[in-house]
Amino acid sequence: MFASGIDGSITWLLVAAAALLGLVLSPLAETLIAKRLPRLGGLPAVPVRIATAAITAVLCVAFSLRFGLGFALPAFLFLAILGVQLSRIDIALHLLPNALVFMLLAGGFLLLLIPGFLNTQADDLLRAALGALILFAGYLILGLISPGAIGMGDVKLAAPVGLYLGYLGWSQLLYGGLLAFILNGVVTALLLSRKGRNKTSEVAHGPSMLGALAGVSLFIL
């Protein structure tokens, strides 16, 4: 019982730390993005910043509960922080900045090296790299076939999304790739039903990709 109490305390401390991390790093990320990428229009409105910080904190908590104090946790906290920012920008501007997409890919890979090296899980790293290549290639083909539906930003985002999904497993890569299109289809149908919405190109696909990645990471073991 004593050991169980200690484990419970550690879990609550981890959850609190993850929530605080999300609440602090979300506005910091927004400030850095506004400073480094002024073409995006500066800082978003205060309600948007509050919502973004809240979503980031919730995701950080969810990932901390999913991965515990494992070596993979920093990579997924990084995903929560930067992924929410990319979603926010894509929803507002229909744009996925190359710098942020590359940062998610490079940062995610470097952070996933930690569990790969320390746990000698070389297979996971190889699968992650292949996942990035496979999903990128799939989106590239779709983007060339139907450029109005899939933009080049989505094609580039497929690489880091595939990296994380591939790290989790082949099944996760398959489910995540399919779920992104299902989510985007649902969102598209809802938005097209609203007055003044008559083009599927008005629907940002990036948030569905990142949302599918988060969902698969949290709920498909």
Mean pLDDT of all residues in 182-187? 94
With 60 as the cut, is the pLDDT of residue 1 above it?
A: no
Confidence of residue 200 (pLDDT cuts 50, 70, 90): low
Mean pLDDT of all residues in 61-76? 93
Mean pLDDT of all residues in 177-183? 96
pLDDT the model gives residue 201: 59
Query: What domain range is 96 assigned to?
Result: 2-219
Total structural domains within the chain: 1
Summarised one tens digit per residue, pLDDT across range 78-110 is: 999 999 999 999 999 999 999 999 999 999 999
- The structure's pTM equals 0.93
With 90 as the cut, is the pLDDT of residue 11 above it?
A: no
pLDDT the model gives residue 2: 36
pLDDT the model gives residue 147: 81
Summarised one tens digit per residue, pLDDT across range 115-152 is: 767 665 678 899 999 999 999 999 999 999 988 789 99
Name the percent of the chain lying above pLDDT 70.
90
pLDDT the model gives residue 120: 58
Helix/strand/coil (H, E, C) string of the chain?
CHHHHHHHHHHHHHHHHHHHHHHHHHHHHHHHHHHHCHHHCCCCCHHHHHHHHHHHHHHHHHHHHHHCCCCCHHHHHHHHHHHHHHHHHHHHHCCCCHHHHHHHHHHHHHHHHHHHHHCCCHHHHHHHHHHHHHHHHHHHHHHHHCCCCCCHHHHHHHHHHHHHHHHHCHHHHHHHHHHHHHHHHHHHHHHHCCCCCCCHHHCCCHHHHHHHHHHHHHHCC
The chain-wide mean pLDDT, for the chain, equals 91
pLDDT the model gives residue 148: 78
pLDDT the model gives residue 7: 66
